[in-house]
Amino acid sequence: MAKSPKPVIEEVGFSHQGLADIKERVKGEHVELLLEYPTVYIVYDQEKPRAYQVYVGETNDIEQRTRQHLDDDVHDRQDWQYLANSADSQLLVIGHPHFNKSLTLDIENSMMLYMSGVESVKKLNNRRENQQNKYYTVDEKDAIFSAIWRKLHQFDPNLFPIESVVRDSALFKASPFHELTREQDNARDLILRRIKAVFRAQEKQQLILVEGEAGSGKTVLLSTLFYQLWQLGEDLNYTDFKTANIYLLVNHDEQVKVYQNIAEKLGMKVANVSKPTTFINHHDPREPVDVVLVDEAHLLWTQGKQSYRGQNQLQDIMARAKLTVAVFDAKQMLKTEGYLTASEIQKLENKAAQRGNLIKFKQQLRMNASEATTTWLHSLIDRRVVDKIPLDDQYDLRIFDDPQTMYQAIVARAQDESHGLSRVLATFDWPFKLKDDHLDKVTVGDFSLPWNLQLPLATDQRGQAKHLAWAEQHQTLGEVGSTYTIQGFDLNYSGVIIGPSVKYREGKIIFDPTASENTNATRNRTMPDGTKQHVDDELLPNELNVLLTRGVNGLYIYAVDNELRSALQHASR
């Protein structure tokens, strides 16, 4: 296979003098690539150490486009005023022999995706997303982008960190610039059409329900919608539609910080990202907002708890919005206070389906695994049987007979930059009391590590603490995570300790609530008819499902129960 040509990148000051410099500096074939062909460009300024303002664009005429920014855009936009007035602003012009209009638009979109995942980028400007469909050189896009990024890393490693570091960040994974699948794209179009219909008819309390299992792309869809609704709000031609009235609700403190960081980078209202209870307590049903996007609606409370005094968070959110878009996966319900019966779920589905607002995702996007491997996992969790583990060249699924050996394998993966973010997780089968005088630990024989977020934050990350998810913190490689620290995030490789609450008896997996420390799943639940029932036989399998579906490229398993461990080892032969 012929080697792909290398990208050409030229850096000059972002100024009229910089334009003169680039015309003087560029020679030979590079004149065409940078001054006459389509190019991607980046304008950036380092406001202070590890704090950049960045603009990403593409153009067929870099000279004309730069003059437009310097002479015209400065009168209309504050970002261009700042960049044009700063003596330190730089212009990077990127060319490639294979660039065409579609490819530069796609590279521009990929650059926005990566820039949104860079911690040091504090403001990111572009105002559009440019995902392209099929075109002649589409198969070259990823390789060309990686070559460009590696070369940019040589210009400034703080602004352009190593590619794998960016891809592992929670900011990258929550970015609204991910390329959408056909399934996600169709869902986005349907939701935007429904928003138009709701505003035309001046309707209220409408629900769009997006269902899909872990890793099916629901969160990426929601992030994209949040950005595009804000971006396009002024152009939707609805008298009552305001960009300030679009809200994104997430359930984990870490995710709130991630999305608020993204909103701040993109110039959106940070206050429009919050937890559900905060939104409910600060909004009156008599003055409903326009659109509320709810991530992981399966974690919403269906009874009062702490600062929430209502009985159903989703119903209370819907009462405060003209339209609610909620993503939902019944197999990720984890707590009794968020439990819904099958008939309650059916009512929600029916409410959405009656308006054509029920969307079901069927693809699995997180795990780079074969269909045979995902079927094996479904059988383990849903059918509760241990089938023979299939051979899979794409996915590293291993069974371990010792937790220490598994931990060492995960550490090796985490320390290898080519493999990236890897952590050990466990079912919640060990006490977690959080007393000041000792560390709560997951202990199996001689193996022992602290539970989630007990070790001090790594010295070099203390300034970033408020933006970092559990798995992104360096010291958590020496801890064991649970569903409460990993749900909503993914890992490259996950090592899962299946604790004593999961057993194997007479050819079937069983769940033993007496061996679980997860009181959120094992205590009684008051049902709609007033009776109290245990629902742990649904919630404990859900806990296992969340843990076993975190690994993108690999899953390592150790089972505490002797019979389960033996069955898994036999299945792997």
**436/146: higher pLDDT:** 146
pLDDT of residue 124 exceeding 70 = yes
What are 284-335's pLDDT values in tens digits? Answer: 999 999 899 999 999 999 988 878 889 999 999 999 999 999 999 999 999 9
218-232 and 253-266 helices cross at what angle (nearest 10)?
40
* 135: confidence class by pLDDT, cuts 50, 70, 90: low
pLDDT for the residue numbered 1: 43
By the 8 A CB rule, do 249 and 291 touch? no
By the 8 A CB rule, do 144 and 74 touch? no
pLDDT of residue 152 exceeding 50 = yes
Mean pLDDT across 131-138:
66
Instruction: Tell me the pTM.
Output: 0.90
**Strand partners of residue 473:** none
Which string of b and e fits 208-231 if b means at least 16 CB within 10 Å?
bbbbbbbbbbbbbbbbbbbbbbbb
By the 8 A CB rule, do 479 and 449 touch? yes
Of the listed ranges 85-99, 192-206, 210-224, the least confidently predicted one is: 192-206
What are 330-373's pLDDT values in tens digits? Answer: 999 999 999 999 999 999 999 999 989 999 998 877 899 999 99
pLDDT of residue 379 exceeding 70 = yes
pLDDT of residue 241 exceeding 80 = no
pLDDT for the residue numbered 401: 96
**399/490: higher pLDDT:** 399
pLDDT for the residue numbered 225: 93
What are 411-422's pLDDT values in tens digits? Answer: 999 998 777 799
Could you tell me how far CA 384 lies from the centroid of its own chain?
29
Of 261, 105, 235, the closest CA to residue 179 belongs to 105
pLDDT of residue 460 exceeding 80 = no
pLDDT of residue 240 exceeding 90 = no
Query: What number of CA atoms fall less than 13 Å from residue 357's CA on the CB side?
Result: 24
Rounded to an integer, what distance in angstroms lies between the CA atom of residue 541 and that of residue 337? 17
Backbone angles phi, psi at 191, to 5 degrees: -65, -40
Helix (H) or strand (E) holding 323: strand 321-328
pLDDT for the residue numbered 134: 63
Mean pLDDT across 228-232:
81
pLDDT of residue 176 exceeding 50 = yes
Which residues have CB under 8 Å from 108's CB, separation 6+?
40, 56, 57, 58, 126, 130
Mean pLDDT across 118-146:
80
pLDDT for the residue numbered 463: 64
State whether residue 104 is helix, strand or coil.
helix
Q: Which domains does the chain have, with CATH numbers?
A: 8-167 (no CATH), 182-360 (3.40.50.300), 371-571 (no CATH)
pLDDT of residue 549 exceeding 70 = yes
By the 8 A CB rule, do 274 and 256 touch? yes
Question: What's the whole-number average pLDDT of the chain?
Answer: 90
* 32: confidence class by pLDDT, cuts 50, 70, 90: confident
Which residues have CB under 8 Å from 158's CB, separation 6+?
50, 52, 120
* 233: confidence class by pLDDT, cuts 50, 70, 90: low
pLDDT for the residue numbered 308: 87
Residues above pLDDT 90, as percent of the chain: 68
pLDDT of residue 228 exceeding 70 = yes
pLDDT for the residue numbered 535: 95
Distances (CA, A) of 12 to 53, 106, 370: 16, 24, 47
State whether residue 508 is helix, strand or coil.
strand
Residues above pLDDT 70, as percent of the chain: 94
pLDDT for the residue numbered 129: 58
pLDDT of residue 242 exceeding 70 = no
pLDDT of residue 238 exceeding 60 = no
